[in-house]
Each structure stands twice: as C-alpha cells, then as structure tokens.
C-alpha cells in the first residue's frame, strides 16, 4: 500500500504498515518494528491519528491501533472523490465567471479625413462639456463645434482664422505652428469620456488617436484646459 501517493509522509506510511502487524502497540513498540526513531514515530502516529488512519487507546502508556486497510481505502476514496468534485465545481465556476471588461482601445489615425471625422463625431456626441483646440485646417468640423445644445458648455481655441464662432483666437503663422507642433494640431475632449487628438500634415496625412481610454482622457483634458486658459487676443463672434 503506497500511502505517500495519497498525502501521507513516507514515515507515516512506514509506521502504518508496521502498526498493522503489531496493533495494538505503544509508540516504542511501533518505532522498533518500523525501525524509525522514536520521536519521528510519535510525530507520524499523531499525523496518522489526525487523518483517522490510527486510533489512540487511552492508558499508561497510550497504545495505538491501525485502521483496517479496507476501511482506510474506502475513506480515502470518499475523500478524494469529494475533493475532486469540489475542484471540478470551482474550475467550472471560473470558466463561467464573466471576464473582466477590457479597457477601450486606442485607435490610431493616419489620414486627415479620418482624424476630422472622428473629431466631428466626438463633438456631436458631447452633451455636457466640449473642449477643443483647432485651426483653419479643421474648418470642415466647425459646424459640429458650433452646435449648441441645452446643458452643453463649449470652450474652443483656434490657432488662426477662419475660426469657429465663439472660439478664442490666437494668431500664429502656420509655419510657426508646424515648427512647434511638427504639424497642424487638432485636439478635442467630449464629456470627459472621448478624446481625439493629432497632427495634420500639409500632404493630407495625419498622426493621431481616438479613444475613450480612462488613462488618456484626463491628461488631454488637463492640457486643453490649460491651453484655453492662457492669454488670448480675440474672440470670434
């Protein structure tokens, strides 16, 4: 009988086999029969008793009786069957449990038309707050930026004219803007949940992103608010 495969220590297995031959017996007798140090024998007997494989007989000295092998095998079969059932249930619950919701993707944009359309969609979706920095190169989306809705607060900065109505204008030559930004900038945050930002190039290309990722939007919104709060020269009527 290889009890080690069922969670018993090698010493416990050796002591149990010895006790089967000398039961009932004292710990001293079991140690001699098993050829195991007495201290280790008593530790093994306590471990076996905790598993129900050995019974103590009170007295002086205490004697030990090994459980009938058939009874022990039946007990182990029930224990392992119950443990396997519990394991199967736990694994099944893990498989059925809904996975953690994935974070919104950050969509990469590489052309002007897509960047402008994404920005227009963001502007149209805003219901409480709309922040944007644009310029004449984004004139296609001005109607969406100018749209008014009850409860919507809109703050716009345009780096030059023409500009959307109500925007703060900061005059700057396109060459200066491109030298500073590496292109013509466009940035928008709608309702603290959607942002589009990027750079438009003269050749029609662009480099930008659109996302609802909560790790990106607060930073873009903070930068836009700082930019909108800086000194301005003109507000378009």
Given this model, what pLDDT does residue 108 score?
93
When mean pLDDT is compared across 57-66, 153-162, 227-236, the lowest value belongs to 227-236
Mean pLDDT of 35-49: 91
Residue listed under structure tokens 């392992």: 80
Collect all residues with Cβ–Cβ distance below 8 Å to 65 and sequence separation of at least 6: 19, 23, 24, 54, 55, 57
CA 36 to chain centre: 52
Q: What is the CATH number of domain 3-96?
A: 1.10.10.10
Mean pLDDT, the chain, integer? 88
Given this model, what pLDDT does residue 228 score?
83
Q: Reply yes or no on whether the pLDDT at 72 is more than 60.
A: yes
Local confidence band at 79 (pLDDT 50, 70, 90 cut-offs):
confident
Instruction: Kindly report the number of other CB atoms within 10 A of residue 172's CB atom.
Output: 12
SS3 188: strand
Domain positions in the chain are 3-96, 106-235
Local confidence band at 197 (pLDDT 50, 70, 90 cut-offs):
very high
Long-range contacts of 43-50 (CB under 8 A, 24+ apart): 43/11, 44/9, 44/11, 44/12, 44/14, 44/15, 45/15, 45/19, 47/8, 47/9, 47/12, 48/8, 48/12, 48/15, 48/16, 48/19
Q: Reply yes or no on whether the pLDDT at 37 is more than 80.
A: yes
Given this model, what pLDDT does residue 234 score?
54
Local confidence band at 205 (pLDDT 50, 70, 90 cut-offs):
confident
Mean pLDDT of 185-204: 92
CA-CA distances (angstroms) from residue 110 to 98, 113, 146, 198? 35, 9, 26, 9
Given this model, what pLDDT does residue 198 score?
95
Local confidence band at 155 (pLDDT 50, 70, 90 cut-offs):
very high
Given this model, what pLDDT does residue 203 score?
81
Q: Reply yes or no on whether the pLDDT at 86 is more than 60.
A: yes
Return d(Cα 49, Cα 63) in angstroms, integer. 12
Return d(Cα 167, Cα 120) in angstroms, integer. 16
Return d(Cα 199, Cα 94) in angstroms, integer. 45
More confident residue, 229 or 114: 114
Q: Reply yes or no on whether the pLDDT at 34 is more than 80.
A: yes
Q: What percent of the chain has pLDDT over 90?
A: 54
pLDDT digits (tens, 9 = 90+) for 97-142: 666 667 788 999 999 999 999 999 999 999 999 999 999 999 999 9
Q: Reply yes or no on whether the pLDDT at 201 is more than 60.
A: yes
Yes or no: say if 132 and 220 are a contact pair by the CB < 8 Å rule. Answer: no
**Could you tell me the CATH superfamily of domain 106-235?**
Endonuclease Chain A (3.30.870.10)
Return d(Cα 200, Cα 178) in angstroms, integer. 9
Return d(Cα 62, Cα 57) in angstroms, integer. 6
Q: How many helices (H) and strands (E) does the chain have?
A: 8, 11
Q: What percent of the chain has pLDDT over 70?
A: 95
Local confidence band at 231 (pLDDT 50, 70, 90 cut-offs):
low
């Amino acid at each position: 009988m290889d009890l080690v495969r069922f969670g018993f220590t090698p010493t416990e297995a050796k002591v149990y086999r010895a006790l089967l031959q000398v039961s009932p017996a004292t710990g001293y007798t079991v140690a001699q029969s098993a050829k195991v140090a007495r201290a280790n024998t008593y530790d093994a007997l306590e471990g076996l008793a905790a598993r129900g494989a050995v019974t103590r007989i009170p007295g002086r000295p205490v004697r030990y009786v090994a459980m009938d092998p058939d009874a022990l095998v039946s007990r182990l079969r029930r224990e392992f069957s119950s443990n396997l059932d519990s394991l199967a249930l736990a694994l099944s619950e893990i498989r059925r449990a809904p996975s953690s919701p994935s974070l919104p993707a950050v969509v990469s944009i590489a052309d002007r038309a897509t960047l402008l359309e994404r920005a227009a969609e963001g502007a149209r979706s805003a219901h409480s707050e709309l922040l944007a920095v644009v310029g004449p190169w984004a004139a296609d989306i001005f109607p969406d930026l100018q749209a008014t809705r009850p409860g919507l607060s809109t703050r716009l900065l345009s780096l030059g004219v023409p500009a959307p109505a109500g925007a703060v204008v900061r005059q700057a030559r396109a060459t200066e803007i491109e030298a500073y930004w590496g292109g013509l900038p466009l940035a928008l945050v709608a309702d603290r949940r959607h942002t589009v930002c990027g750079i438009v190039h003269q050749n029609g290309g662009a480099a930008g992103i659109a996302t609802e990722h909560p790790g990106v939007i607060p930073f873009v919104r903070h930068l836009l608010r700082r930019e909108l709060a800086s000194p301005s020269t003109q507000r378009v009527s």
